[in-house]
Structure 1
Amino acid sequence: MMIVETIAKIRRLANVERMTIREISRELRLSRKVVRKALRPDVTAFTYKRKRQPRPQLDTHIGQLEALLAEELPKPKRQRLSYTRLFEMLRENGYAGGYDSVRRYAQRWFKERAVSAQGVFVPLAFAPGEAYQFDWSHETAIIDGTTTQIKVAHVRLCHSRFFLVRAYPRETQEMVFDAHEQAFRFFGGACRRGIYDNMRTAVATIFIGRQRIFNRRFEQFCSHHLVEPTACNPGAGWEKGQVENQVRTARNRFFKPPPRCGSLAELNEWLEARCLTWARTAAHPVQRDRTVMEVFTREDQPALVPLRLPFDGFHEVEAVASSTCLVRFDHNRYSVAARAAGRQVQLRAYAERIAIFLNGEIVAQHPRSFARHATVYDPWHYLPVLARKPGALRNGEPFRDWDLPDALRRIRQRLAVHPDGDRQFVTILSAVPEAGLEAVEAACTSALEARLNSADAVLNCLARARDPEPPAPILTPASLTLGLLPEADCARYDSLRAAVRA
């Protein structure tokens, strides 16, 4: 096959040097047929493509090879068997041909099915404020020096492409609610429609077609913010392709290399700042002369549904408080007020806290723990138990490393040397529910200044602080002031006695 340089040389000799075909043939040692072919006016290069590759050895093993290839097609490319491994498997079953035949056939087989496997899609367009898309991704971050797998919520406005990413330790329903609340706050409003996949925290039942039954709490959330939820068809991720593509973009921009932060809250602040920076600099994919932020502020933001009051986004479960005043949830235990021991309570799990209710009255509130087998205590929950069992103060687990105010801590240290020191200190603590912690702390400070360490002294200072001040003296008007003040005269009494004797 002639190369392009040879064809160019033939054409120059014929058209510039005016040499004949015979002379060119002798000069370049080519046949005259080849020279005539190169001098055709529309030919500057020659290619040859074999229409059929003979494979006498492979033809008898085509069925087996195609069966192996069909098993590998659904797998990710990293998990597919190599061509060498396919060749070795065929050799084990009697194939006597070469490796190149297997490789060429496998490459062509995968290429022919690449388009059908990837699919062909229709680009989508959305009006300002019409819809947002939501999805989760799994990323890696270094939090407080520990490499941690986190769940990242992605909320993206379909028209302007403005988005927010936020990290969470779970993908539970309360995290979904919090991610939406933070996103709506970030955008300054909500869209009229939300597009989701069929996640269990939103969809309760999937029917054929578009019909879905959303779970009750998720419907309450959407109703609160006037959002119409829409679920994609199963396996049709392209229906929310913008947020699917955003997952890859955010991973490359924000999580490579893994960010280092002291806490999850610090990481979320950093992510929010990065989202704003990206929106101010990235060009809009349709309106190339504008940035994403410009399209958002001019078109999307005015069309958003105004924000309402925040939705009370909790996940509620029923639980029974143990005799040790503990409630179990998500592999952890939380203390409750002593009056709830042994009774059924309602635990509301939020993204960052736990609230526990007994007959509608709150009996405990704690920061949420995402460890496993941890116990979160509030020592004040056990105060009624301490009043009956003051000896538990010394070795009770809830009271280890109790973070008391400085004055109370000093009183406790000085009472520790007394035989009934625990009982006296519990007596002081028992005044807190009625008088308040600040008042009791002030009474302890007064007792320490007077060099008094007993419970009676502290309670005395507390009672004196609560006594009302004496009223101010009443001023007598000048018109009611006596001009002549009366004088004491005992002689009048004597005259009365004399009259009685008579």
Structure 2
Amino acid sequence: MKTKVELYAAIRRDARAEGLSIRKLADKYEVHRRTVRDALGSAWPSPRKKMLPRRSRLDPYKQVIDEILRADLDAPRKQRHTSQRIFDRLVAEHEMEGVSYSTLCEYVHDRRPKIRIEAGRAAPEVFISQSKRPGVEAEVDFGEVWVNLAGTMTVCYMFVFRMSYSGKAVHRVTASCGQEAFLEGHEHAFNVLGGLPTGQVRYDNLTSAVAQVLGFTRGRVENERWTAFRSHHGLEVFYCRPGLSGAHEKGGVEGEVGRFRRNHLVPVPVVATLAELNATIDEWDTVDDQRRIGSRAHTVSESFAIERPLLRPLPDDRFETGRVFHPHVNRHSLVCVRMNYYSVPVRLVGRKVRVLLHASELVIFDGKTEVARHERLIARGKPRLRLDHYLEILLRKPGALAGSTALEQARQLGTFTTVHDAWWAAVRKAHGEAEGTRALIEVLLLHRGMAHRHVVDGIATALSVGALTSDVVAIEARKAAHAETGMASATTSSPTGPVGQPAELPPLPSLTERRLAALPPDSRPLPSVAAYDQLLRFRPPATGQGDTP
């Protein structure tokens, strides 16, 4: 079917080439003679007349709605009319009938901004396109995301660092949006990008960087650790205006937060740890580098290849992003950090330790020695205990093991398995509650020097043959370790066995021998019997063979 423009062109061509009359042209193309006259008059069809607006049952009330909206201009922001309130007033005060709520909402949505413009309260917002130079500017923001973390729906925070020229973005999800996560996100982004932007990095007024906004100016009082961090890296910062207007000043990263969340975090990701999620996010970032932003001619990776050589090099030394605390260890062998409790070895009870708090974990030091490392808790008032920290005291108090919180958490994490439980039940039945539990604790001490899976294999083997001693578990665990590395089934020549013969295993020390080896060396002198030599002077002389002395 011809369009109207094509029809006009055909009519004009036949009239010009064949000299056909208006009647013959109308018969040929089966149109009205008025259409032929219009085509001969202009190559473009005349625009269709606009239809008069349809009458609506809302028409008698439109003036009243406009008056309400004008009055709202001077009302407090939180006490202005909603569409529902306007609808209720029209029904109650003007007896409105037959008007649907959706019809009224459409009218209010259309008229409210126009009334503001008519009153001079607002002007249409205009955006000015920006051209970015490679390697110069970047933008930073946090976004809220939900994660199914270890079976629990948890709100987390996604740090985003985006280069303005190429659109290259680095994402990292953390348990909090505190200063530790803010600084660690920067360090991760700098390492991925391989350098630093030479110009400004745009931020909103998050408390990790800004301690105080000075009125309506661009002046800011910065957080001291943030000032030290950006001084260490030589960052030039630009703080956007507060509120929605400031979001438009870093619209690239604002849009990137939503794009990444919609494309990669829907449906809600199911992970065991945040480290697992962040490893996957790094892979997604690599895939996203092959996309094109809008109508750009180059992909993100091609554009970043241009600005990568222009970035400033990273500093030689690393800035410590973790926050340092110095809590005391209470009598439960716990330290309190940010209203959560974490266990340390019982030998540290009553002492002060140093805690280095990161975005997703914390490390505890006794002096310069690391004594514990925990995944950071998100909810407040929760404990995180490690059973290994309490084994020494449980040797003296074996009855406390069965109902301990540390044991319950070990079961939840899977470090205390059903194999442990089965061996514990068997050894308690054979040796009694106290001695059986002490034997279990001796087995748990093996985890400190051997891989978890090897100890579990050793327990299972010992249980299968009815050997209920920790020494047998240790021997079987070492056999499992040697079998895994191939030492017990070597088929090539070796210093300890001929070709084709398995190499002999070195003798395995018993648990008693291992305990003695762990003791400090004995520096005492050897005993001497020289003092007893003086007794030889009183020995009676021999009388002869068979005589009694």
What TM-score, normalized to structure 2? Answer: 0.61
Match for residue 206 of structure 2 among 190, 196, 199: 199
One-letter code aligned to 1:242? G
* Cross-structure match for 1:417: 431
Q: Does 1:283 align with 2:336?
A: no
Using the alignment, how far apart are the partners of 1:302 and 1:190 within structure 2? 9
- SS state at 2:319 partner: coil
Pick from 244, 251, 254: which aligns with 2:264? 254
Distance 1:117 1:356, change over 3 A: farther
Counterpart CA distance in 2 for 1:72 and 1:40 is: 60
The match for 1:188 is: 194
Q: Who is 1:329 aligned against? A: 337
What is residue 274 of structure 1 aligned with on the other side?
284
Q: Provide the rounded CA distance (Å) in 2 between the counterparts of 1:423 and 1:269.
A: 40
Note the C-alpha offset of 1:428. 7.2
Contact 1:225-1:308 within 8 A present in 2 as well: no
- The alpha-carbon distance between structure 1 residues 424 and 384, as it changes in their structure 2 partners (threshold 3 A), is closer
- Counterpart residue number, 1:45: 46
Change (3 A) 1:262 1:49: same
CA displacement, residues 436-477 of structure 1 (integer Å, 9 cap, x when unaligned): 857xx999648987xxxxxxx843564379899xxxxxxxxx
Give the distance between the partners of 1:110 and 1:213, measured in 2 at CA.
38
Note if contact 1:189-1:307 (Cα within 8 Å) is conserved in structure 2: no
Report the equivalent of 1:306: 314
CA contact (8 A) 1:73 1:110 kept: no
Paired amino acid for 1:62: D
Residue among 64, 82, 86 paired with 2:68: 64
Q: CA deviation at 1:343?
A: 5.0
Is residue 232 of structure 2 the alignment partner of residue 224 of structure 1?
yes
What's the CA shift for 1:138?
A: 2.1
Residue in 2 aligned with 1:164? 170
| Equivalence for 2:111 | 109
Deviations 1:343-394 (A, max 9, x none): 5544332123222346676554323233555422234544664577566566
Q: Report the more deviating stretch, 90-99 or 233-242.
A: 90-99
Change (3 A) 1:410 1:146: closer
Give the structure 1 partner of residue 356 of structure 2. Answer: 348
Identify the structure with bigger relative contact order (alpha carbons < 8 Å, sequence gap 6+): 1
Q: Residue 211 and residue 283 in structure 1: after superposition, are their counterparts in 2 closer, same or farther (change >3 A)?
A: same
Q: 2:300 aligns with which of 261, 282, 292?
A: 292
Q: Name the SS for the 2:377 alignment partner.
A: coil
Residues 454-493 of structure 1 mapped to structure 2, 5 A cutoff: 458-460=511-513, 462-463=515-516
What is the letter of the counterpart of residue 170 of structure 1? S
Confirm or deny that 1:244 pairs with 2:297.
no
CA spacing shift, 1:35–1:344, aligned 2, 3 Å: same
- The farther-off stretch of 122-131 and 46-55 is 46-55
What TM-score comes out, normalization by structure 1 length?
Answer: 0.66
Number of matched residues? 435
Answer yes or no: is the 8 Å Cα contact 1:194–1:228 preserved in 2: yes
Q: Cα offset for 1:113?
A: 7.0
Q: Which amino acid aligns with 2:516?
A: A
Q: Percent identity?
A: 25
Supply the AA of the counterpart residue of 2:134. P
Contact in 1 for aligned 2:327/2:353 (Cα 8 Å): yes
Deviation of the 1:150 alpha carbon: 3.2
Distance of 1:111 and 1:37 partners within structure 2: 41
- Determine if contact 1:447/1:458 at 8 Å carries over to the other structure: no
- Contact persistence 2:174–2:360 (CA under 8 A): no
Quick check: 1:134–1:194 contact (8 Å CA) kept in 2?
yes
Q: 1:249 to 1:69 in 2, by over 3 A?
A: farther
Q: One-letter code of the match for 2:111?
A: W
| RMSD over equivalenced CA pairs, Å | 5.4
Task: Provide, for residues 317-368 of structure 1, a one-character-per-residue CA deviation record: whole Å limited to 9, x for no partner.
Answer: 4544322121233453211244543455443321232223466765543232
Change over 3 Å in CA distance of 1:228–1:337 after alignment to 2: farther
Matched, 1:177 2:191: no
Query: Does 1:127 find its partner at 2:180?
Result: no
SS of the counterpart of 1:327? strand
Deviations 1:269-315 (A, max 9, x none): 222222211212x2355851x22101212323442433544432213
How many Å separate the matches in 1 of 2:137 and 2:255? 16
Task: Measure the CA separation in 1 of the matches of 2:107 and 2:339.
Answer: 54
Cα deviation for residue 157 of structure 1 reads 0.8
Q: Which amino acid aligns with 1:417?
A: H
Q: Would you say the 8 A contact 2:364–2:373 is kept in 1?
A: yes
CA contact (8 A) 1:58 1:102 kept: no
Residues 27-52 of structure 1 deviation map (CA, whole Å, 9 limit, x = unaligned): 9799xxx9999997598435666999
Amino acid at match of 1:129: G
Q: Which amino acid aligns with 2:46?
A: A
Check conservation: 1:187, 1:301, Cα contact below 8 A.
no
1:94 corresponds in structure 2 to 94
Q: Name structure 1 gaps, 5 residues minimum.
A: 21-26, 450-456, 469-502
SS at match of 2:132: coil
The answer (yes or no) to whether the contact 2:195–2:314 under 8 Å persists in 1 is yes
CA contact 1:188–1:307 (8 Å) conserved in 2: no
Amino acid at match of 2:228: Q
